[in-house]
Amino acid sequence: MRPQFILFGDSITEQSFSPGGWGAALADTYSRKADIIVRGYSGYNTRWAMFLLRHLFPLGCIKPPVAVTVFFGANDAALSGRTSERQHVPVEEYRENLIKIVHHLKECSSSMLVVLITPPPVDEEGRKEYARSLYGEKAMELSERTNEMTGVYANQCVELAKELGLPSINLWSMMQETVGWQKKFLSDGLHLTEEGNAVVHKEVVRVFNEAILCASEMPYDFPHNLEIDEKNPEKAFQQQC
């Protein structure tokens, strides 16, 4: 009965129901209004995400999701020749894959709200600290991602959203406007702290509100308990079921 919002992305989406996560916060915001379904795949880039598309969003679905957030790029932007090379996807292909994802989603439902989210900025020092905490002296001296290169992917994402007439959230530039973003928003130079999660939650709600998916204006799925007449409860349910 409730509309579905699907969160499609990589580990930053997969982890969005961990404590303070933006997905759980969204589920709370849309409590009794919409179902928030998480489809986050840790380590995935857009190339691997392509294999999931027809499974997660089958064509001809009777009740397609009303909104989908598409939140990739953090792994695509891993650098060639460094430790996460296997996840690297060239920026041109990242762009093409995003186009294919959007086209597929719009084929599922032309009225679906598709929101493109850029990867967050990268704190290279934080990545190195994290690698040292895992591998000690053996950790590579060079971060497997740079903030500059992730910015190239973020720009492509935002430019593409403009071309396609879709809303986007430029986390990469937005987060860097705050002094101390490196530790404030990122736990290991890449993934989000609770404050970083709060930024994503706030921005997704803002975009949904602008697209007339405002929680306060959406109906409850069943009568609010105060609308139920305790002497005649069936009345409220007859009206709203």
Q: Which sign does the torsion angle of CA 123, 124, 129, 130 carry? A: positive
Tell the smallest beta-carbon distance from residue 81 to its own copies (Å).
14
Report H helices in the chain.
11-14, 22-29, 46-49, 53-56, 91-108, 124-135, 147-164, 171-176, 181-184, 194-210, 233-240
Q: Which is nearer to its own copies, 1 or 212 (CB)?
A: 1
**Dist CA 98 CA 54 (whole Å):** 14
Q: Which is nearer to its own copies, 24 or 142 (CB)?
A: 24
Token code pair at residue 95: 């762009």
Contact with its own copies (CB under 8 A): which of 87, 97, 143, 170?
87
Secondary structure of 86-112 as H, E, C letters: HHCCCHHHHHHHHHHHHHHHHHHCCCC
| Position 237 contacts its own copies (CB under 8 A) | yes
With 0-12 / 13-18 / 19 or more C-beta atoms within 10 angstroms meaning exposed / middle / buried, residue 238 is exposed
97-106 burial: b if 16+ Cβ within 10 Å, else e: bbeebbebbe
Tell the smallest beta-carbon distance from residue 27 to its own copies (Å).
4
Residues 17-56 that bind its own copies (CB under 8 A): 17-21, 23-25, 27-28, 31-32, 35, 37-38, 40-44, 47-48, 51-52, 55
Token code pair at residue 26: 């969204």
Size of the site for its own copies (CB under 8 A): 40
Q: Which residues are catalytic?
A: 11
Quick note: the x/- pattern for its own copies over 109-138, rule CB under 8 A, is ------------------------------
**Residue at 122: amino acid letter:** V
| Position 234 contacts its own copies (CB under 8 A) | yes
**Dist CA 72 CA 101 (whole Å):** 11
The stretch near its own copies (CB under 8 A) out of 112-120, 133-141, 210-218, 225-233 is 225-233
Q: Which is nearer to its own copies, 134 or 210 (CB)?
A: 134
Contact with its own copies (CB under 8 A): which of 80, 216, 230, 239?
230
Tell the smallest beta-carbon distance from residue 197 to its own copies (Å).
11
Query: Which residues of this protein are in contact with its own copies, per CB under 8 A?
Result: 1, 14-15, 17-21, 23-25, 27-28, 31-32, 35, 37-38, 40-44, 47-48, 51-52, 55, 86-87, 222, 224-226, 228, 230, 233-234, 237, 241
